[in-house]
Every structure is written in structure tokens, then in C-alpha cells.
Structure 1
């Protein structure tokens, strides 16, 4: 079928449409366990895998449409005990037995809530208790080591070593995605007999989008033997609705034949893949490979799941620390520019005078500032006309006040002649209209990229029906020309931070000029109009000469723009205190920083920056007031309190469980998990990044809570029956 929107059924995709294959509707399982779908209201079996007799001792025909209790043992009772807590998004583990024909069978099970009033039960042979204990013993040490890692590379190295020690797979890798979805192996622990894959890259097409979506939902995926024969779930459709069974969360779900062929091409027989999720997106994967069949039990899978969650929180803390360093750099630059403005009357020369502070953090070869029609450059840059042509093109490509490109000649062939000097461009808008830009340039980087096989997936005999995932995974090198080094997330964050700071400096400079030179008011008014920050300018008598348009956005609905300090004060809760501050600005010539709250119901909390502009002879020429919405700051403060309360309650609950299970012995793993979350929270600080810190803290709390819950289930699961 040639319809580009066609989603092929499971097992019928080829490499031209595999990203749309309905892999969650597999209709079959791997044979190392048995799957049952039961009706929630009466526990009657609606569907079962065809290997039921092998595992349960009951013919498939006798299982379907029979009550779950007919299988004997305590399976039905254990499921009834879990029933109220089951959700569609988490697998609940349990021990159980079946006893048909007088033969007692021991299982470890997983259950979750399915569609249309169903419960999905998966059973496997129970693992040895010693294995459960060993997994828990390694967890505390691994979590502590994760907390001590100060870089992503160190964290990834620690992760692969710890997880290989825990699971004993032949190879354990951390696989990180870039902005284009391509993956790179950034850490590896392996059997000495194997060749390394460290540094190998894999094209984004190796992991279809639908698979990436499932990795976000079902964080742990296991393949026991790539040579397995799938076991069908029958009947194929749910009898009471006629729906295909959604197996998104099923641990035993069959894998796509294309994925199986891909692994066979690599020589891989068994895999364990665990998701690393950051800010709601797939940051990377922990991928474990084995070159013989290998099955791991729930205890080990849960332990790796815990470590992946802890690793995600540590990644958040490390990346936020980098953003904090960016903020420090930008604040120093801002102070230097403000000082230059007051002493020299112009911040632009000061910005470009010490170009190293702009070039070095970006690893750029050149930089250009286009402001109010004037052009200033430093480092290696093309001609003035070429820079202006680049600026005009970049301004038209801006998205959210930023534009980046690693290959000018590919993105705009008309500018291909600039490649010897300018290959990559990163530009920020300083005016929201593309008239004022700061641009960084990078030279061409002739890079040698090592791919795990040719990234082009060849056909077999040019027949799309027999497309084969890349047959060779030997290192395949590609020399990339006409391209600069990619702009990293850190580069983009730094550019945004510098842009925000320069916009603030520009606005302050323009506001001062409005007071000093009234006759230039109209010229500079347009620039201040563009400020996204609410501000107002008043004269020495407290008359408001100019409120920025953004000020109206923070005023109570229906309130007119204030015309004087007295009118301004009436808009806030503590009117007298506000009047006192405004009076001190006029009379005491003292600048002020603080917080005011609007009078309206649910009034906005505002950070206030009030600066006095001195005039000749010690008089006050006027004042500039800038307002900042503190909603995010308040939310961050509340999120921190909630996190600490949540960690305390989790710790108290675990202490009660520990007292019950092992009086006097604190649980080392749970303590390490909570300590890791607390340390990560302390390292999260406000930045100019696009993700609010409150969101990061809430994500950290959710991740830590989930890690604690998974570990609590693991410990409960491992208690002697």
C-alpha cells in the first residue's frame, strides 16, 4: 500500500513504513511465559496465549471462558488482592501458584489494567530468592556511585559498570540521542572477548517513532531469545468488544520481526533495554546485549529500572549545573556592560572589545553584532556585505528569537561561497524584529563519523518486501564536509541567556536615554516598546512619563495605566509600604529591590527593581521601575517544599516497613534513593533555560517517588512467603 499514512499491521511492515508499524497490537508473546486476559468484574478468562497447557497444565480451550480460579493455586486470590491498585501504566509484580491436576506450580507474575474492563496477567517461572537478595545488595552501592558522578560521561560509565555487574549481560551500553534523533554509544562495559562499539553512531531510523513512544510508556523491555517462535494470543480479538488487544505495557509482548532481524544481523541473541527519560522526552537508552539466550527475573529488571530513574534525576542535576555556570558567565558580562554604559555611554564597544569572552564559551571562530544599523565584528568573519546578507537570512529564519545552522551552503546555496570562513551560524534576536542580531560563526569541520554499519539500509535484490535491516555492523566511516561542529543544547542555552541579558541591558540603556534626552523620545520609544518586560519611567516628581505596553499585562483587569506614583501605589496590597518606597526613591535617592503583590483577588506577586537616575547637581532626574512576574519563583519554592515533604513521608513510610521487616536495620537502598533526590534538588537552581525549575523539581519528585515505589514493590516481592 502506498498511502503515506498507512500503518501496517504487526509483522507486515517493511523498511519503508516500519516507523508506523502497529507494534503494540502484536497479538503474540515470547514463549518464556504465559499471558491471560481476564474480565475485571468476574475474573473470567477472555484470551490466553496458546502455550497455556505447557505452563499451566490446562488445555488452551479449557482456559478460555473459564474462571481464573479454575487454574487452582492462589493466582485468583493474589490478583483479587492487587485489583484495586492496578493501573494501565505500571506493571504490578506478585508471587503466585497454580495447581491444576494436583501439581503445584510456582510463578512470578506481572499484572496491569487493560482496555475495556480487562486485567492482563503475565506469568513466568519464579526466580531464586538469592538472586533477589543479590540485586538489592548491589542497588545501594550503585545509587551512591551515581550521586557522586559530576559529569554525564562519568555517570554513564558508572551506570554501565553497575548494570553489567547486576545483570551479567555480555555488553551494557548507554545510548544517547542527539537533536536529530540519531544515537551514539557514549559508555560501554563488555566482555573482553568482544570488540568495542563505543563511539559508534546509529541513524534515527533504526528506532521507529512508534517504538520511541512505547519506550516512554513501558520503560523496561526484554528479549530472551531472538530465535524464538511467537506464541499467538487467542482469540485474536477481545470477545466482548471485537478490539485488538493493546499490548503496549505487556512484558512478554512479541517484538517486530524487523527488530528481530536487526538484532540477528548484529549477532545479538538476547537484550534488555531500559529508557532514560528527561523532561518528558526520551534522552537515551540503557541497552544490554547477550550473545546467547538470557532471561532475567523481575528482581533484576526492577533493580535496573530503579537505577535508570536515579540516573535520570542525576542527569537533570548535572545538566542544570551546566546551566548555572552559563548564568554566572552571563551575569558577569551584564555587569561589565552596565558599567561601560555608565562610563562610556555605549555597551556595544565593551561587548566586542574582549571578544574572547564571547568566542571561547561557544567554541566559535568569529562573532558579529548588528545593532541600530551598525556592524561590529571580532575573530574570523567574512566581508561586511556578506555578514549583512547572513544577518538578513538568519532574521527571516528565526524561531523563538533564535536561529542555528551547521551548514550554510546546504541551507542556503546562495551563500555557499562563505564556507571557507563561515560554515555554521548561531544567531539571537536582540529586538524581536530581526533588526538587531548577535551572530556566532564556526569554521568548516571535516569530521570523520563512525557509524555502526552503513546508515543506508540496503534492499535485498531491490525488493522492498524483502528489505533487510543493515546486514553489516562493522564500523563504517563517513567524512562530512561543508558542515560545522553541531551547536549543542548548552550552546543554544548560552545564546538564549546572552540574548536575554543583552535585551535587558539594551532596555536599561534606552530608558536612561529617554530621561537624559527628551528630544530623542520618539526615536527610542520604539526600542523600549519591544521590551517583553513590564517597566515604567517616572520623572523626579513621581509623574509617570512612560509605561511600557507590557505593563498593562500585569495590571488588574479594568485598571487604567497609572499616571503617578500615588496612583501606582493604590494598585498594591500594602499601599503605605509601596508609597514609602516610592517616596524614598524621590527624596532619599536610594534604589530599591523587593516584592509587591497586586491588590486584586489572587493578585500577582511581582519582583520590583527600582533604580534612581541621578541628574546634575545631585538632583533626581527620574526613576526606572522594572517588574518581574514571580509566579514561577513561587511555584519553584512550593515545589521544593512539596518535594521535601514527599521525601520525608516516603522515608517515614519506609521506616515503618523496615521496622516491620527488619527491626533496627535502616534500609540502605531507600536511604540512598531519597538522598540522591535531595542532593539533586539542592543542585537545581533558577536559570534562563526554557524549562522552569519548578517543572524540573516536580519531574525529580515524580522520578524519585517512582524509584522508591518500584524498590518498595521489589522488596515486598522478595519477602519470604
Structure 2
């Protein structure tokens, strides 16, 4: 299996995070999907203020008939006591799950429910549940333990993600499972995938940020998953339309049942899938990526299965974070070792520039440079492949005018300093360490251009197709590979490089002071 998606942090010139897609007020989509029902209760007496129009399907009672009824009239007294006890002891805005029994036409019906307290009301989501045998929990637990053990074995982030995709596909029964990582501009890249053979291959494809706009990304912090059992559904409204307490639409941000924007359903149609489920991968309280599950036909995972997948998304997030920390630490250890050798060489050399550019360890090795130069007291020292001396002097003048004397790092130098396009093949990346910026004294490190090919899932420039009215729009209808060549960029720098550069700068200044006095 291929485990090497393109680097996720390739800098792209265009921002695809659409303001049009991001303008849909998803929290005010006052409709739900029909596989469950929603009740809105007042906080004092737990009376029903609003009900979804499909209650008759589940309870044989219309929404209008339910209004103003006490919720207590629908359930057993013991269950009401449990609800009031837990709601009273639970001050924060986390969902509280219950299994409730309703009597419908003399027959008991079991519902999986979640209660969520808002400042002025309580949201109750209800989905009919079928009796489960005791072994089902044991079976789920055993699967979870097994998958967790497998996720600990791979050494790299792509390998961990691939194992997760394969095992989640087997576990959940979805036709396709993808692990999707966001780049710095919120475009997503599929870094792992498990699929049925007749489904499209999206591995290593990027999808523009407009596919998951900002307000949709924000909602992943409120909902542990997003489920669409089928794209072919008729949305269900709330009765009455406005919340009687707030006199506004009820905020359904936290509701798993919340209906989906029609443009997203059209998007699923264009991908030839009927059902989807997505779960967030959150690392350091930031949305790192998604687990995206697709199915060719309608699919309704049980509450137990969804809860298990929610748990696995957290476990996968932890494993991805662990691998990232391991990779960072390995790089840091290597950097410190080279750094220590270079500093020893620097302090024992008669000339600090020669100490940096000559000997067993050089600044080229420390920062993975193709070339470096030192400008000091009118003299220029160079090592490796660099621009011409005049080109570097012009660059130093630009740095003096624009950088106010601080450390400067970029991996897109030709974009920020157009004159450097003349030598972009050897210097698309720049690390500039000031010694005395006002006098034009710098240590310069250069990284060469690394052209990257980005494979997009469809042309990102056609991700949104506007109607003539300028208001309505449609998603792209083709996901054929669209190749974009990214030029004028080097390999990226990281935070450890910047820290090492600052430490080196202080060491050089200390060396100069020592030699002078």
C-alpha cells in the first residue's frame, strides 16, 4: 500500500477558503433530518416548547398536540427522576445521553436521546433504538481494543492514518473511509484511504478549503460527528417555526440531527455516494483533519457504533499527535547535536565566519542549506551554491528596508522579493540572521526551489459555480485529477529552525564581543 502523500504544507498562492460558502448560517438551519425527532423544552417545568413535525411518525402524536405538554407525561417516572437529577448536576454544555421508553399505542418503544442545556431552553434529540443483546457491547469493546493496539504499531503519521482507514472500514461497514488532513490554508489532502474497488480513488488528492468552510469546521468542536444516513431526504421543520422563548430560530449548532445545506447534498450526489459520516481529528485543541466515511447506498449506523467511532477518532487523534511529537523530537535531537558541534567550532575558530562555513560541521548541515553567506564589516564569505555577490547585496538592502532587524525566514522568497526570481532555483528559501542589520551585516542561508505537483480532486478554481442571480451556487460536478505545479518554493522551515537560528545569532554576537574585548 502506498504510504507517501505529498507534503501537506506546500504553500499555495491562492486562498480557496470561500466567503460564499462560509456565509451560510449553519446554526440557523432550522430543519432536521428525518431519522430522528427533536423537542425543545423549557428549563423550569420541562414542558415542550417546540417539536419537529415528524413526531407522529415515531409517537403517533402530532407536533401540535405535543406543544405545552410536560415531557413527564411521555416517559416513566423513574426515567424523569434520572433526567432531572443529571440535568441539575450538570452545569456545562455537554450532551447527556439517556435511553428512554415511550408508550406508543400500548407498545413500549425505546429511544436513544441526548439532552443539551442552553441558557434558556433544553434540546432533546431522539432516535428510535432497537433492543441490543449484551454481547454487542463486548464485541464493540473487543474491536476497539484491537484497533487501538494496531494504531500503536506504525512509525509514521501516514502509516497510522492508513491503518485507521482500513480498520475503520472493516469495523463500520462503510464503503470508503478516508483520513483527511488540513494544510495551513485549510485545503484538505487525503493522506489515507480504504475503499471498495468500484469507488473513486482520492488518495493524495487535495480538496479546496471551500469544501469544508470555516463555519462547518467550527461546528466540529460542538459535534463529535456529522451523519447523513441518506442524501435523499425531505427536511423536517420545527413547530412552531420560532422559539417561543427567544422569538428567534432555535440554535441547532449542537444537534446531530441538524439538516444539511442543499449544496452539500448536491456535493454528495456529484461524488456518487448516498450516505456519509465525518468525525473530527482534533490535536492541541485545533482541527487537524477529518475521518470521512462514504457509502454508496443509505446507511444508518447504530448509536453504539457511532459512539465507538467517536471514541476511535479521539484515539486516532492521540496517536497522530504522538507520532508528530516523536518526529519533532527526533528532528530536535539531531538539530541540537549538530548545533553543539557547530558552536564548539565557532568558539574555537579565529574567524567566526570561517567557523560557520568551514570545518567538519557547518551552518549548511545545521539548517539543511544548499548555500550560505556571511556579510560582515564589508567582507563576504560564501559556502555552497549562492546567488552572485551583487544579487546578495541587493537582497541585504531589501532586508534592511523591510525587516526592521529581526530574524527573517521564508520558503517563498520569489513571491515576497520578486527580484529573486532570477535565481529561484538556488534560493527560493531564505534564512536571514541579522548581526547588525543597520550596517547590512547578516548571515544568509539559502534553500533551493523544490517544485511540487499538487493533485486536486477537481479544478479548485471551479469549486463553486454561481448562478446568474449571484446568490445561488452549486459545487463542482467533476473530481477528476487537476494537477497544479507549485513553483518558487523551497522545503519549509519549522519552529525549531527559527529557535536554532536565534540561539546561533546570540552565540555569534557573544563570539564577536569576546574577540573584540
TM-score class, shorter-chain normalisation, is 0.7 to 0.9
Q: Is the 8 A contact 1:395 1:429 kept in 2?
A: no
1:338–1:359 Cα change, 3 Å: closer
Q: Return the alpha-carbon distance in structure 1 between the equivalents of residues 294 and 418 of structure 2.
A: 44
Q: Return the alpha-carbon distance in structure 1 between the equivalents of residues 272 and 369 of structure 2.
A: 42
Q: Return the alpha-carbon distance in structure 2 between the equivalents of residues 19 and 430 of structure 1.
A: 45
Q: Is the 8 A contact 1:364 1:442 kept in 2?
A: yes
Equivalenced residue count is 496
Shift of residue 160, structure 1, vs aligned partner: 1.0
Q: Is the 8 A contact 2:352 2:512 kept in 1?
A: no
Counterpart of 1:478 (choices 470, 484, 488) is: 484
Aligned to 2:27: 24
- Describe the superposition over 1:9-47 as per-residue Cα deviations: whole angstroms up to 9, x where unpaired: xxxxxx762212110111111100001111121110111
Q: Is the 8 A contact 2:151 2:160 kept in 1?
A: yes
Counterpart of 1:64 (choices 59, 64, 67) is: 67
Aligned to 1:325: 330
Comparing both chains, which one has the higher relative contact order based on Cα–Cα distances under 8 Å and sequence gaps of 6 or more? 2
1:23–1:426 Cα change, 3 Å: farther
Shift of residue 185, structure 1, vs aligned partner: 0.3
1:263–1:486 Cα change, 3 Å: farther
Shift of residue 427, structure 1, vs aligned partner: 3.9
- Describe the superposition over 1:481-522 as per-residue Cα deviations: whole angstroms up to 9, x where unpaired: x322451xxx322321321320342244245346xx2xxxxx
Shift of residue 188, structure 1, vs aligned partner: 0.6
Aligned to 2:172: 167
Q: Is the 8 A contact 1:48 1:60 kept in 2?
A: yes
Q: Is the 8 A contact 1:87 1:112 kept in 2?
A: no
1:394–1:131 Cα change, 3 Å: farther
Aligned to 2:294: 289
Aligned to 2:111: 107
Counterpart of 2:87 (choices 75, 78, 83) is: 83
Counterpart of 2:228 (choices 223, 231, 255) is: 223
Higher radius of gyration, 1 or 2: 1
Q: Return the alpha-carbon distance in structure 2 between the equivalents of residues 381 and 160 of structure 1.
A: 44
Q: Return the alpha-carbon distance in structure 1 between the equivalents of residues 117 and 357 of structure 2.
A: 61
Q: Return the alpha-carbon distance in structure 1 between the equivalents of residues 264 and 360 of structure 2.
A: 50
1:71–1:433 Cα change, 3 Å: farther
Aligned partner of residue 219 in structure 2, secondary structure = helix
Aligned to 1:625: none
Is 1:444–2:449 an aligned residue pair? Answer: yes
Which piece of structure 1 moves more, 296-305 or 419-428?
Answer: 419-428
1:234–1:444 Cα change, 3 Å: same
1:73–1:435 Cα change, 3 Å: farther
Q: What is the TM-score with the length of structure 2 in the denominator? A: 0.87
Q: Is the 8 A contact 1:47 1:238 kept in 2?
A: yes
Q: Return the alpha-carbon distance in structure 2 between the equivalents of residues 373 and 285 of structure 1.
A: 53
Provide structure 1 residue ranges, at least 5 long, that are not aligned to the other structure.
1-14, 518-721
Aligned to 2:48: 45
RMSD (CA atoms): 2.8
Aligned to 1:139: 144
Aligned partner of residue 284 in structure 1, secondary structure = strand
Aligned to 1:246: 251
Aligned partner of residue 221 in structure 2, secondary structure = helix
Q: Return the alpha-carbon distance in structure 1 between the equivalents of residues 200 and 439 of structure 2.
A: 51
Q: Return the alpha-carbon distance in structure 1 between the equivalents of residues 231 and 398 of structure 2.
A: 51
Q: Return the alpha-carbon distance in structure 2 between the equivalents of residues 499 and 428 of structure 1.
A: 7
Q: Return the alpha-carbon distance in structure 2 between the equivalents of residues 268 and 279 of structure 1.
A: 32
Provide structure 2 residue ranges, at least 5 long, that are not aligned to the other structure.
1-17
Q: Is the 8 A contact 1:114 1:246 kept in 2?
A: no
Is 1:200–2:202 an aligned residue pair? Answer: no
Q: Return the alpha-carbon distance in structure 1 between the equivalents of residues 410 and 218 of structure 2.
A: 28
Which piece of structure 1 moves more, 56-65 or 420-429?
Answer: 420-429
Aligned to 2:501: 499
Q: Return the alpha-carbon distance in structure 2 between the equivalents of residues 472 and 463 of structure 1.
A: 23
Structure with greater helix share of residues:
1
Shift of residue 261, structure 1, vs aligned partner: 1.5
Is 1:124–2:127 an aligned residue pair? Answer: yes
Q: Return the alpha-carbon distance in structure 1 between the equivalents of residues 417 and 289 of structure 2.
A: 32
1:302–1:381 Cα change, 3 Å: same
Aligned partner of residue 341 in structure 2, secondary structure = helix
Shift of residue 287, structure 1, vs aligned partner: 0.8
1:459–1:344 Cα change, 3 Å: closer
Q: Return the alpha-carbon distance in structure 1 between the equivalents of residues 59 and 441 of structure 2.
A: 73
1:427–1:262 Cα change, 3 Å: farther
Q: Return the alpha-carbon distance in structure 2 between the equivalents of residues 90 and 395 of structure 1.
A: 53
Aligned to 1:422: 427
Q: Is the 8 A contact 1:227 1:269 kept in 2?
A: yes
- Describe the superposition over 1:562-607 as per-residue Cα deviations: whole angstroms up to 9, x where unpaired: xxxxxxxxxxxxxxxxxxxxxxxxxxxxxxxxxxxxxxxxxxxxxx
- Describe the superposition over 1:643-684 as per-residue Cα deviations: whole angstroms up to 9, x where unpaired: xxxxxxxxxxxxxxxxxxxxxxxxxxxxxxxxxxxxxxxxxx
1:435–1:162 Cα change, 3 Å: farther
Q: Is the 8 A contact 2:335 2:366 kept in 1?
A: no
Q: What is the TM-score with the length of structure 1 in the denominator? A: 0.64
Q: How does 1:579-598 map to 2 (within 5 A)?
A: none
Aligned partner of residue 372 in structure 2, secondary structure = strand
- Describe the superposition over 1:463-496 as per-residue Cα deviations: whole angstroms up to 9, x where unpaired: 534421111012222233x322451xxx322321
Q: Is the 8 A contact 1:160 1:187 kept in 2?
A: yes
1:426–1:179 Cα change, 3 Å: farther
Q: Return the alpha-carbon distance in structure 2 between the equivalents of residues 508 and 310 of structure 1.
A: 47
- Describe the superposition over 1:85-141 as per-residue Cα deviations: whole angstroms up to 9, x where unpaired: 44554322221111144221111112211242x111111121534544432221111
